[in-house]
């Protein structure tokens, strides 16, 4: 195994198992917290993987909550460009984590093993490369990249780093999908000539018309940082909170949903 910049002894299996559990646990975030978090709250020395969260919007906060149900994961920091999300993350964790508006502050921490990245698609490349440069293992939400050309550079950086990176396509990790794969590979269902897959969404949030907080403004949102790597625009709360509706920041339904199929 290549030398880890962070000095961490995390094994590939351990990291992949725990990060997969983060995604799987996100849907059950209301359950009782794991023993590792209870111990830390009592002041005992931290154990396991220490994780920071970059992006705590709708998906990011699900992952944040899910991580707190897993023994061996210690959630210690969160970052977001909207101040209201940082307040929410602080409340959800009962003030046990540090928060910041600059993800580089998290990457600079020497006491972190890994980061969970849940930011808009157009920021994936920049955040991933910076995380690898900082010696952090990475769990990054799907899609890996906003543009195909970026993917090649990202993959080269991952291989060069020797660090662990997992893309969060949690649906493809479910037992049902794995069983279907085994049936296909084993020839138990014969030759497959066509696959018909459908996905239905019937409400405004599912159509990516996410709610815009009433306090949204250039004072509460770091708009210039959001636009990094994207075309420049005047302040527009829809572009920030409903970014999946804009090609500048997302691949639309293709990169949001089709990657699950």
Model confidence at 208, pLDDT cuts 50, 70, 90, reads confident
- pLDDT, one tens digit per residue, over 142-175 is 999 988 889 999 999 999 999 999 998 877 778 8
Per the CB < 8 A criterion, the answer to whether 25 and 184 are in contact is no
pLDDT at residue 110 greater than cutoff 60 = yes
Tell me what pLDDT residue 224 has.
98
Which DSSP letter does residue 27 get?
G
pLDDT at residue 16 greater than cutoff 90 = no
Query: Which of 6-20, 93-107, 109-123, 152-166 is the least confident region?
Result: 6-20
Can you tell me the distance from the alpha carbon of 131 to that of 200, in angstroms, rounded to the nearest whole number?
35
The 3-class SS string of 5-32 reads: CCCCCCCHHHHHHHHHHHHHHHHHCCCC
Per the CB < 8 A criterion, the answer to whether 114 and 51 are in contact is yes
Model confidence at 47, pLDDT cuts 50, 70, 90, reads low
Model confidence at 33, pLDDT cuts 50, 70, 90, reads very low
Closest CA to 19 of 58, 48, 55, 57: 48
Q: What is the pTM of this model?
A: 0.79
Tell me what pLDDT residue 106 has.
97
Tell me what pLDDT residue 7 has.
45
pLDDT at residue 45 greater than cutoff 60 = no
- Domain spans of the chain, in order of start: 12-172
Tell me what pLDDT residue 30 has.
32
Find out whether the peptide bond into 31 is cis, omega within 30 degrees of 0: no
Which DSSP letter does residue 2 get?
P
Tell me what pLDDT residue 253 has.
82
Can you tell me the distance from the alpha carbon of 227 to that of 240, in angstroms, rounded to the nearest whole number?
9
pLDDT at residue 46 greater than cutoff 60 = no
Q: 12-172 has which fold?
A: Rossmann fold (3.40.50)
**How many Cβ atoms sit within 10 Å of the Cβ of residue 258?**
13
Tell me what pLDDT residue 6 has.
47
Per the CB < 8 A criterion, the answer to whether 22 and 139 are in contact is yes
179 to each of 92, 173, 175, how far by Cα in Å? 36, 10, 6
Tell me what pLDDT residue 2 has.
38
């Amino acid at each position: 195994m290549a030398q880890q910049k962070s000095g961490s002894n995390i094994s590939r299996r351990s990291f992949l198992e725990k990060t997969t559990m983060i995604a799987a646990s996100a849907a059950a975030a209301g359950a009782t917290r794991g023993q590792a978090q209870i111990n830390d709250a009592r002041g005992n020395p931290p154990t396991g993987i220490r994780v920071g969260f970059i992006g705590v919007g709708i998906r990011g906060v699900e992952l944040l909550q899910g991580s707190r149900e897993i023994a061996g994961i210690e959630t210690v920091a969160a970052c977001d460009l909207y101040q209201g999300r940082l307040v929410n993350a602080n409340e959800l964790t009962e003030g046990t984590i540090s928060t910041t508006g600059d993800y580089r502050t998290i990457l600079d921490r020497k006491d972190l093993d890994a980061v969970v990245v849940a930011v808009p698609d157009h920021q994936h490349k920049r955040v991933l490369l910076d995380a690898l440069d900082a010696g952090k293992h990475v769990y990054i939400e799907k899609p890996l990249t906003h543009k195909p050309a970026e993917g090649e550079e990202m993959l080269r950086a991952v291989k060069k780093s020797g660090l662990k990176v997992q893309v969060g396509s949690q649906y493809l990790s479910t037992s049902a999908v794995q069983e279907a794969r085994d049936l296909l590979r084993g020839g138990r269902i014969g030759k497959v000539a066509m696959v018909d897959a459908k996905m239905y969404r019937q409400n405004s949030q599912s159509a990516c018309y996410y709610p815009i907080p009433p306090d949204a403004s250039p004072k509460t949102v770091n708009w210039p940082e959001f636009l990094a790597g994207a075309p420049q625009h005047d302040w527009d709360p829809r572009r920030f909170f409903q970014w999946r509706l804009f090609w500048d920041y997302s691949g639309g339904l293709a990169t949001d949903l089709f990657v699950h199929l």
